[in-house]
Structure formats: structure tokens, C-alpha cells
Structure 1
């Protein structure tokens, strides 16, 4: 794919080099003709010299003109693609997604999936969708810690995408996704993603030039300087931010290592939970539970950082429902439930400790394979 992506640029470079060669040959021929005519006609020396200078610079000027014209055409093509994208790509949201749940939703974190099938190409015309999830039936109780595991391509991350409405159920199927009794079908997507906590495998920072404060509180939930400092101290990043100039200093792609970026993403989730609890308490509502989604959040960090992240998640989100995708099976042994997936289907559920001891269980086989037994 990298070779294919570089092919047009390589072809353009070759054409430009060929153009330079041809123009230089043309200029050389014109110079020879000019000198020959000047000698034959015994022209004025000054006029001949000026003509030679003009001919020599003609090639460079023609080369620059053609290259700039090509660059203009390329730029106009890019603008045309953006216009076509704006006119043809459908918006993510649907007109029916107008439901805005109450302020404290989700308050318990009960999740129910009934007969859910989903595909990334579900709306492709005249094509049978390639299902990423098949007939998923799953119930997650309030405050339950659930781990989803399985081999690559089994549908683990697709389940997380489904709960965030990054992946929609196949149209026309009698599926149902409920969170605390509210169907996600008509819930506004932006509201849904503001209410759920999420920790991705690759942390995302705002573009260079944004401040640490803006990255910590991108939704502007009113977090104070003290709140921001406390969550950064919790994940051991305050000294890094302080040495860089404080909360108002600019963040760049080199401000954090990969492991520190994951810790910063965890600080974002903790700050969002704390800000929500403060806001609900001010309105007279008790601090509710919620839903935290983890998609391989600790797969790219070292063991020490992973233990720190696990401790913070257990302490800060102890009343929340946690749905975690992980390849590291030892991380999920203290979870309440494990869901084993294969080819987009749920093939086994149960307590991880019980399943490891159960002869012939799918999770037991994954555990033995991970341990090399």
C-alpha cells in the first residue's frame, strides 16, 4: 500500500526530469543555431550576447512555468475532491437521532444487546454485507466489570464501536441496544459520546499549538486549574506538564512518550468523570455510575504503567460499568465476567477464574495458549 501511494509522486518526478532534459536539449539546439547565424551574418556582438543570455534563461523559465502549471492543476484537483466529498458523503448522524437522555444518564450502566448484527459496509448498494458482529445477545449488569477477548478479527473492537455508534446495526434486523432502559437507536450521537467514558488504544491529542488544558478538557466542562493538576498528579504527569510551562503551554507531538500519552488519555477520562459528578452534585443529583469503554488501552505500555493504569481505573471508576477489550489475559482475571468472541459471535461467557478451571472452555484454551502450555 505504501508503494502504491508513492507511485503517482514518483511518476510526476520522472515526468518533470524528462521535461527538464527535453527543454535543455531544445535550448542547446537554439543556442547552436543562434551562434551559427551570428557567425554567418556577422551580427553585432552585444546583440548576440544578449540573445544568448535570453536563450539560456529560456529553458529555466519554461521549466518553472510548466511545473507551476502542473502544481496548479494538482491543487485544483484536490479542491475538487474535497467538494465531491462534501456533496456525496452522507453525514454520520441520522434525522431520527433526536433523543437527549436525562442529565444523569447513564446512572447505573446496565447494557443490553439483543440479536445485534452489524457490518461496516451495511449500506453498500447491491452487496451482501460482510458481518463484523453476528446475532449478539449480551447483558451487562450495573457496575459489572466485563472483559471481551478473542483472536484477532473476532469482533472485540467492533463491539466497542457499536456501543459508541461508530458502527450501526444492519438495517432491517430486529436488533436492540439498551443502556439503562434507553434505546441507543434514537439517542443523539454527540450526547452519547459525551456521556460515555472511553480509553482508546492510541491516544489522540489536539493539533500542535493547543494547550495542555484544552487537551485535558476538550469539551470545556468547566474544570478548574486545581482539578486539572490533581488528575495529572494522579497519573504522574504533573512534573512533565509543569516543566513544559504549565497548563497553558502548547502541546506538540513530542511532548509525551507513547506510554505518557496513554496516561494523559486516562487523565482525560478521570477529569470528565469528576467534572460530571461535580455538576450533578450541584444540581442535587447523587454522583451516578456510568459506562467506561477500554479498547486495548494498556496493550502498548510497559508493565509498570499498566499496573498504574489498572489501579487508577479500579479506584476512580469503581461504581462504573467497565467494558474492556484486551489481549493480555492476565489483566482481566479479576474481572467479574469475560466474554469470548469468535468470528463476530459470542461463543462463551462466565467468570474468568471459573472458565480457566473448566475443562474444554474457550477461554481456558486462550489462557493456555497465552501461557504457552
Structure 2
């Protein structure tokens, strides 16, 4: 699962995956072997019982074939129904996991709208759907118990009648042994069927797990030693995209259709287009979440499909629209691999304005520690970023949206990347925080090649070039000022739709003049 392509997780509900990793794995690890062991033991007990009865009253052997046929017919009915009921139970458990996970993720929204009752009813309904096959499993067990009791009673009757018939040849002790074994046979026979059914039922879990093991399409190899690029790669950040086409699956249409463009080292490129134009797909293709259907992407002359995924993804940096933080501490979120010193992390936090210059200086003076002054001693006033061991909840739930985005930016600063991708990184924060982040990006990543998917055109209007996409094709690729003054340009139309056209023209012109004067 860890090596599965992202397409698998897009198409598979999380509840279905959780079901495989919880109940199905439990069935294989804890239930299958004991049931198989019990089946072997009870089968041997039944064979020994029949052997003892036949040894004492040989005529019983004639009825054994008839008894075996009757038991087989009962067993076939029981097994077929039990197997399908167990499959239904496994299938109906996945929606419970899925619904519960979705409810936990959206619990604040549910409470805000006062809609708890509806989600509670939905959860109970899914539990009922899961309990129905479980109930019928026990009904099926009662059906089996009644019929095996009838067959068992018939066996006891036969053993008794034959013991009477052989009275002249056997003594009372052997007759007693034959009858006692006949009585115990009934319990052993019913458990043979039940345990065999449980083995088959739990093989459903083996089948479901095996389906994921065999049929889950894997990502390309994490390491390709023979094609490993130089340790300093990428050094310049030059990007060449040639005849690139992308599709999410072989049976789906192309989302990117034969595009080509070149980016010089340290250039800042804004990517714009209507919804569904393929902006995010291009960004993800650099990390090989989607492999090219045709064409190639080269960074500093290295085809990204020729090197291992681990090296490729560690060499590039992305700041996504939804900031990605993990349950842990500020330290573990900034430096997941333990590669940087504390002062380097504090410096990164200062550069994104999460701690002030005065606080940073006090940390340096305190040899990597911050000492609270009197007015900062209360927990409410204390800056949480002054202690790298302060906790971060899952998805950064104890931070504001702007703080999460700045944390991701600080993490990127630590890596000093040569290629940086921003996927609408400021789409969900206010203008003030957006301006702060853009200022930091311009100052701190001046020598970095940047590709930015723009949510606000003002953030990319002073970039070196604008890439305009439409339905997976490149419509325009030039300096923003050249595009905005072209009355036939699609980018000009986008700028006019913002209501800030004059400001955008002025900013683009200033950036164009500054670039000319360099």
C-alpha cells in the first residue's frame, strides 16, 4: 500500500483500506490458524469414533456411506450460505469506517450547522446494514445445529440397535463404549462443519488481502543506483518540458496534451488557467505522481523518469494549497530526517516572521534557548514557536491557517531548494498573510526556479513569465506585461475579470522595466 500509485488512493475509499488492515488482517493473523487446527482435531475425532463403532459392530460400516452423504448435503448448504454472508459482512463494514472517518474530519462543520442527528442516524443505519448478515450467520448456525442433532440422534439409534443385534457377540462393556462414542460423535460432527466453514470464511480475508497485494499497481522504483544523479543535483534549476502528455489512467483521456516549454535557471513562472486546465497536474508530474504518457521532463539535463523516486522527491520542494503538517512537534515537522541544527530551524522561523528578530537574537545569546521575560511569562502571551518541542496536532489543528502555511514555507527554506513548486499556496489565507508570504518568497528564493499556480493574479504579475493553460494545452507563454497589453490575450481577459486591471497593468509594467534595466 505504501508503494501504490496515488491513483489507487483517489479511487479507493479509505474505509475499504482500513477494513483490510483491521478486520481482514485480524482474521488471517488470529483466527485462521486456530480454526484450521480445530478442524483437523475434530475430523480425527470423528474418524476415530466411526472406526471404534465399526470395530465393535462391523455392520455400522454399511450405514457410514449414507451418513457421510447426508452430512455432505447439509454441509454444502451451510457452507455456501455462510461464505456469502461473511462476504456481505466484510463489504458492509467498510462504509462504517468510511463514514466515521469523514465525520471526524468534518466534525466542526457538522457542529456548526447543528446536523449531528443526521450523521448519527446515518452511522446507525450503516451499523444495522453490517449487523444483518452477522445475525443471519447465527440463524444459519441454528439451522445446522438442528439438522446435525437429527443426524446424530439417528447415529445413536443405529449404534444402539446394532449393539442389541450383536448382543450375542459382544459384552456389555464394548456395547457401552460403542454407545458413548456414538453420543460424542454428534458434537464432533457439528464442529467439523462449523470449523471448516470458519476456515473457508476466513479465507475470504486472505483473498481480499491477496487482491491488494497482487492487483495494486506500484510506483516506479525508489532507487535506481546506476542512474543516480550527482549529489548536488539540481545545481541550476533549468527545466525543459518537451511534447509532454499526461493521463491519470490508460482508459482516461489526456489531461495534458503535448505541451513544450523551457524555463531558465532562477526564473519565476506563474501557471494560470480555468478550472480543469491541468495546472495542478503539471506540478504533480514533476514529482512523478503521474508518469508521462509521452514526452519528457528534464531538470538540469536529467530526465526525471530515469532516476529513483526518493532522490527526485527529496531534490524538489512543494508548498501545497493545503499545508501538510503532522502530529508531532515543531522540530519534527520542520526537520523530519534530523538533518539540521536548532539554530538553523530558528533562523528559518525568523525568515518567515514566525519569530521576531529580537527573539531570534535572544535565542542566539541564550545558546539556542529562549528565556521568557516577565511580560512573556504567561502561557497566553508566549510565542509557541520559541520552543521547537512544542506539540503540533494532526494537520496542524492547533495553528492558524497562516501559521501552517508559514511553517511549510520555513520547512522549504531549510532545504534551500533549486526548484520550488507552489500549488495555490496562498489561496485560503488573507491578503496580509499572502503579502507576507510572497515577500518572503521573493527575498529568500531569489536564486530558485519557481513554478507557482496562481489563485490571485497579483501574486504572479511581476514574475518572469506566465504560462496560460486551457484544456491541457499551452495557449500563451510570455512576460506578463506583454500578455496583458495584447488585446487578444486570454491572460488579459483573466486580469480584466479580477476588477484590478489597472493595478495589474502598472505592476506588470514596473516588473518589465526592472527586468530590462538589469
Q: Which has the higher contact order (CA 8 A, sep 6+)?
A: 1
- 5+ residue gaps in structure 2? 1-12, 16-94, 100-121, 136-200, 357-380, 502-518
CA contact (8 A) 1:201 1:299 kept: yes
Aligned mates of 2:202, 2:268 — CA distance in 1: 51
Aligned mates of 1:108, 1:244 — CA distance in 2: 33
Counterpart for residue 89 of structure 1? 216
Matched residue of 2:447: which SS?
A: coil
More helix by share: 2
User: Against the structure 1 CA distance between its residues 357 and 189, is the aligned structure 2 distance closer, same or farther, given a 3 Å change threshold?
Assistant: same
Aligned mates of 1:233, 1:102 — CA distance in 2: 31
Counterpart for residue 67 of structure 2? none
Counterpart for residue 351 of structure 2? 234
Give the one of 225, 248, 254 matched to 1:131.
254
Per-residue displacement from partner, 1:85-110 (whole Å, max 9, x unpaired)?
A: 23321321248944221111111111
Counterpart check, 1:194 vs 2:341: no
Counterpart for residue 103 of structure 2? none
Per-residue displacement from partner, 1:217-253 (whole Å, max 9, x unpaired)?
A: 1133x21111111111222334898537821232114
Counterpart for residue 303 of structure 1? 431
User: Against the structure 1 CA distance between its residues 18 and 187, is the aligned structure 2 distance closer, same or farther, given a 3 Å change threshold?
Assistant: closer
Counterpart check, 1:12 vs 2:127: yes
Aligned mates of 2:475, 2:350 — CA distance in 1: 41
Counterpart for residue 75 of structure 2? none
User: Against the structure 1 CA distance between its residues 213 and 81, is the aligned structure 2 distance closer, same or farther, given a 3 Å change threshold?
Assistant: farther
Counterpart check, 1:243 vs 2:384: yes
TM-score calculated relative to the size of structure 2: 0.52
CA contact (8 A) 2:468 2:474 kept: yes
Deviation of residue 301 (structure 1)? 0.9
Aligned mates of 2:286, 2:434 — CA distance in 1: 24
Matched residue of 2:292: which SS?
A: coil
User: Against the structure 1 CA distance between its residues 9 and 167, is the aligned structure 2 distance closer, same or farther, given a 3 Å change threshold?
Assistant: farther
Aligned mates of 2:125, 2:302 — CA distance in 1: 54
CA contact (8 A) 2:354 2:385 kept: no
CA contact (8 A) 1:241 1:247 kept: no
Matched residue of 1:131: which SS?
A: coil
Per-residue displacement from partner, 1:34-71 (whole Å, max 9, x unpaired)?
A: xxxxxxxxxxxxxxxxxxxxxxxxxxxxxxxxxxxxxx
Counterpart for residue 278 of structure 2? 155
Aligned mates of 2:471, 2:215 — CA distance in 1: 32
Give the one of 236, 242, 264 matched to 2:407.
264
Give the one of 194, 204, 212 matched to 2:324.
204
Give the one of 161, 169, 181 matched to 2:301.
181
Give the one of 195, 214, 221 matched to 2:332.
214
CA contact (8 A) 2:424 2:453 kept: yes
Deviation of residue 358 (structure 1)? 0.8
Instruction: Return 129-138 or 76-85, whichever deviates more.
Output: 76-85
Deviation of residue 257 (structure 1)? 1.3
Aligned mates of 1:93, 1:238 — CA distance in 2: 41
